Chain A
């Protein structure tokens, strides 16, 4: 699948701080395949093996309301809420019904600047492994 992935410079999302635990991986492409919707893939350009599955957490937790610290919002240079995309990283379980998303470390992407950050949310309601399929 990686080999079939084609992208242009405009598709690249830069995570200046990397993904937590993978600080060296900074440039990613987020893409989706119709048969995989609503899940997306996020692949590292430099290391194609580095791929995450993403989902917008609001699709299964409509009450998800992470508070982004103001300095993070400033760093993301958000001028308008509509330019901010929200994703969470999915941990696919062997039994897929038990798959979870990391709601304690959501990814925010500013589509205008094409920069992203994984922002730790220190709220006990949102854990690192929240079931996606009830």
Chain B
């Protein structure tokens, strides 16, 4: 991993169109500004990872007897709706 030292207000250019700026620092965290084209999605890693894991899990089980589940859903819907 490339490690660079930056002062508050300084930036890093990545390729053509991505700019990372150090906005604010305290003892435990820092605020980072990110400029990127819309074709480059930017997510917090933990959010990205959680969604990625769930997507993979969903895919592995994507050949179920959906008819049975649909029936359960409709039955539940008919019987009682919370609220």
Contacts and interface: CB of A to CB of B under 8 A. Distances in A.
Interface of A: 16-17, 19-22, 33, 35-39, 41, 50-53, 59-60, 62, 71, 74-75, 89-93, 96-97, 99, 102, 104-105, 118, 120, 122, 128-129, 132-134
Given A53-B64, A92-B62, A99-B69, 7 more contacts: A17-B41, A22-B55, A38-B70, A39-B66, A39-B70, A41-B66, A92-B69
20 contacts: A20-B55, A21-B51, A21-B53, A37-B70, A39-B70, A51-B59, A51-B62, A52-B55, A52-B59, A53-B64, A71-B38, A91-B58, A92-B64, A102-B58, A104-B51, A104-B54, A120-B48, A128-B50, A128-B53, A132-B73
Interface of B: 38-39, 41, 43-44, 47-48, 50-59, 61-70, 72-74, 76-77, 82-83
Contacts, number: 104
A20 B52 contact: yes
Contact of A96 (B39, B50, B58, B69): B69
Interface of A is mostly: loop
B59 A50 contact: yes
A39 B74 CA distance: 11
B47 A122 contact: yes
B70 A90 contact: no
A74 B68 CA distance: 39
- SS class of chain B's interface: helix, strand, loop or mixed? helix
B35 to A, nearest CB: 11
B76 A133 contact: yes
B73 A133 contact: yes
B73 A21 contact: no
B67 A35 contact: yes
Contacts of A90: 58
Contacts of B73: 38-39, 59-60, 132-133
Contacts of A36: 66-67, 70
B50 A104 contact: yes
